[in-house]
Amino acid sequence: MKPAPFDYVRAESVSHAVATLAAAGSDGKIIAGGQSLMPMINFRLVKPSVLLDINAIPGLDQIEDLGGHLRLGALVRHRMTASDPVIARDIPVLHEAMKNVAHLTVRNRGTFCGSVCHADPAAEMPMMALLLDGIVRIAGPSGERSVSAAEFLTGSLTTVLEPDEMVTAIDILKPAANAGWGFAEFARRHGDYALAAVSVVLDRVEGLARNVRIAVMGVGEIASRIAPAEAALEGRTPDAAVIAEAVAALRSAVEPMSDLSASADYRRHLVGALAARVIAEAWERAA
């Protein structure tokens, strides 16, 4: 299909972008990589009156190392996130997750921030933003605000972003240097959207798991942290029995949907099997 007609505006700065969105009312749409937006526009699922291209705004394509966390600008492509040496060294769980995102052409254009804004329940980036305590930095007509990724993502393809606001960057936490981590997903073909995925980061302190983070995707309206499974591991030694408890808590907490690819029961079973594997891997790596 062909898109409905729209005006094209190339933003020169964040303030220009925000002013253009405000002038467009609720009809403006930002395009970053266009990997999710353009199919929706071509199918006329989205019909913006103004397409606001942010690709020429200087300074948004940087990964900044701010000590305890990294700042990923709005034009940081998946390819950059996947190949950044600081991410590979300091946030290996994200480095591993990025290997599973789509295909080369999509990774060359798609952006981390665009994926979080798109809020697809089966996308890796929203899950990573949740796992790594992401803070979403937002510019709007009344200035800047920051919200946690958990507050930002409200459901499938929905966020708290107002129509006249733009995400300028997302800050993500660097886990402790010796933290253990694990990531696993199951997709029918490499690079496809996964049926389910699990990611874990934890510290090992005097034989006990601490600061346990577990995030999942593909098994609910949107990616989420699973607090009951985290609590089942926190302050304990993840032997087989404790991991089984955490997996049971995780399976009870998720609300998978049935679709053409898999039933809800299958997804619940799958996410538990992946969780058992990645918790054990994370514990091993933290040793």
Among 14, 18, 24, 29, binds ligand FAD (CB under 6 A): 29
Token pair, residue 30, equals: 């930002």
Among 110, 134, 180, 182, binds ligand FAD (CB under 6 A): 110
Rounded distance between C-alpha atoms, residue 93 and residue 140, angstroms: 32
* Residue 111 in the binding site for ligand FAD (CB under 6 A): yes
Minimum distance of ligand FAD from residue 234's CB (angstroms): 28
Rounded distance between C-alpha atoms, residue 169 and residue 76, angstroms: 9
* Residue 166 in the binding site for ligand FAD (CB under 6 A): yes
> How would you classify the pairing of strands 166-173 and 180-186?
unpaired
Q: Where are the beta strands (DSSP E) in the chain?
A: 7-10, 28-31, 50-53, 63-65, 69-73, 135-140, 143-148, 153-155, 158-159, 166-173, 180-186, 196-205, 208-217, 224-225
CA dihedral 268, 270, 274, 277 (to 10 degrees): 110
* Residue 134 in the binding site for ligand FAD (CB under 6 A): no
Among 95, 118, 225, 236, binds ligand FAD (CB under 6 A): 118
* Residue 222 in the binding site for ligand FAD (CB under 6 A): no
- Is the Cβ of residue 101 or residue 276 nearer to ligand FAD in the bound state? 101
- Is the Cβ of residue 232 or residue 270 nearer to ligand FAD in the bound state? 270
From the list 199, 66, 54, the residue with the least C-alpha distance to 129 is: 199
| Positions 176 through 195 that interact with ligand FAD (CB under 6 A) | 191, 193
- Judged by the rule CB under 6 A, the positions of this chain that interact with ligand FAD are 29-37, 74, 101-102, 106, 109-111, 113-115, 117-118, 120, 123-125, 161, 166-167, 191, 193
